[in-house]
Amino acid sequence: MSVVSPPATTRVARRASALGPGLVALCGVLAVVAFLSVTQGSRDIGLSEVLHALRGLDDDGSISSTITLELRVPRTLLGILVGAALGVAGAILQGVTRNPLADAGIMGINSGAAAFVVFAITVLGVRGVGVYVWFAFAGAIAALVLVYAIASLGREGATPVKLALAGAAVTAGLASVTTGIIMTNVDALNELRFWQVGSLAGRYAPILTGVAPFLLVGLVAALGFGRALNGLALGEDMARGLGQHVGRTRIAAFAVVAVLAGAATAACGPIVFVGLIVPHVARFICGPDYRWILPYSMLLAPIVLLLADVLGRVVAAPDEVQVGVVLGVVCAPAFVAIVRYARLSEA
């Protein structure tokens, strides 16, 4: 007796009924992780102290109130926004380029930001994260524009392969120039190394308020790309057959990625692995539908980032290990495991 498979619309409805509550559950997990980020560190702060500080009841300038309002809360909020931005940007890049290894690192964003920071330090004499964050933002956007312009040369335009090759070439070229400059300039080396490791430490309220509008607008815009990315996943010819303008979609997607990854990298430095691994985890949970991959990536990424930040603070207390280092140590073997599982699933 043959078994009749349910219609596609029924399967989609069942998946949606399961994935919707999953998003709600992730919001709860993110709230718990955010609470840990505010309360845990070199100095643990109790719930009552946090609530008093948030309500403005600690007017005596206590240490707990100062740490909560001036350090922990801005750091946590920035971690949520930056994590969401990197996760969504990685998912969009992987969808647009159809490259499972695409992220801000190989598309020139990190190297462009670093190059502009070095320029600001060595030529303009800029000092301090709060100042050169804007140079990093401009550099990230400029590098991504350069990558797309190079990949667009020729009759075929910006194909996924050409985008990957152009990104690798721009990344290598800018990284070589940056390394050459900082190796001969001690001031540039000392300033850049604190930014380039990737960290949420020392990012206070002015940086949060400076980049938050870009990140919020970019996240809202990014969530509207689900259907377009689903079309591109079927191939360019199929996407065109469905009435999609592939070139315009790519340009719009890269513009959103430039805003998201550029602002995130400018604020916290080049944080690795979040934009690379999280979309794969979201894809494992949701399947190939980008209408679900994007919101899941937006919630999973800040959870991963904040957990790594809390871990770096706890294991080295009263000092701390920067979040970029923690992610590199923890996520590298995790990514190998994901790749291995994917290959076994295909076998």
- Cα–Cα distance for residue pair 6/254, rounded to 1 Å: 37
204 phi/psi in degrees, rounded to 5: -95, -175
Half-sphere exposure of 343 (CA within 13 A, CB side): 6
Q: What are phi and psi of 210, to 5 degrees?
A: -70, -40
- pLDDT at residue number 78: 93
Residue 98 is inside which H or E element, if any?
none
State the Cα–Cα distance between residues 285 and 269, nearest whole angstrom.
Answer: 29
Mean pLDDT of 279-302: 92
**In this model, does residue 307 exceed pLDDT 90?**
yes
Q: What DSSP designation does 68 have?
A: I
> Quick check: is 8 in a domain?
no
> Two tokens at 77?
């909020």
Q: Please check whether residue 289 lies inside any domain of the structure.
A: yes
Whole-number Å distance between alpha carbons of 87 and 80? 11
Provide the sign of the torsion angle of the four alpha carbons 329, 330, 333, 339, taken in this order: negative
User: Residue 320 corresponds to which tokens in the numbers above?
Assistant: 């701390």
Q: Locate tokens 């998912």: which residue?
A: 91
- Asked whether the predicted pLDDT for residue 1 surpasses 50, the reply is no
Residue 118 pLDDT: 82
- 47-54 vs 8-39: helix crossing angle, rounded to 10: 90
- Chain position carrying tokens 């206590």: 62
Tell whether 5 is covered by a domain.
Answer: no
State how far the alpha carbon of 257 is from the alpha carbons of 135, 225, 254, in Å. Answer: 17, 11, 5
**What pLDDT, in 10s, does the model give residues 100-137?**
878 887 788 888 888 888 888 787 877 766 677 788 88
Least confident of 52-56, 276-280, 289-293, 318-322: 52-56
- Count Cβ neighbours within 10 Å for each residue of 57-78 and write b for 16 or more, e otherwise: ebeeeeebbebbbebbbbbbbb
User: pLDDT tens digits, residue range 62-72?
Assistant: 666 667 777 78
Q: What is the mean pLDDT of residues 67-90?
A: 88
Query: For 161-176, what is the mean pLDDT?
Result: 87
- The average pLDDT across 170-196 equals 79
Q: What does the mean pLDDT of the chain come to? A: 81
pLDDT digits (tens, 9 = 90+) for 9-20: 565 566 667 788
The values of phi and psi at residue 269, to 5°, are 85, 175
Domain-located, residue 146: yes
Dihedral sign of CA atoms 282, 304, 260, 81 in order: positive
Sign of CA dihedral 196, 201, 204, 210: positive
Q: Is the pLDDT of residue 345 over 70?
A: no
Tokens of 207: 């940086």
Query: Which residue matches tokens 């995130």?
Result: 264
For residue 1, being part of any structural domain is answered with no
What pLDDT does residue 344 have? 44
Total count of domains within the chain: 1
Domain that holds residue 237: 23-346
Residue 117 falls inside a structural domain: yes
Predicted TM-score (pTM) of this structure:
0.85
* 342 pLDDT above the threshold of 90: no
> Across 46-50, 90-94, 203-207, 317-321, which has the greatest mean pLDDT?
90-94
Radius of gyration of the chain (CA): 21
Has residue 311 been placed in a domain? Answer: yes
What confidence tier does 87 reach under pLDDT thresholds 50, 70, 90? very high
Is there a domain that residue 162 lies in?
yes
pLDDT of residue 44: 66
Domain CATH for 163: 1.10.3470.10
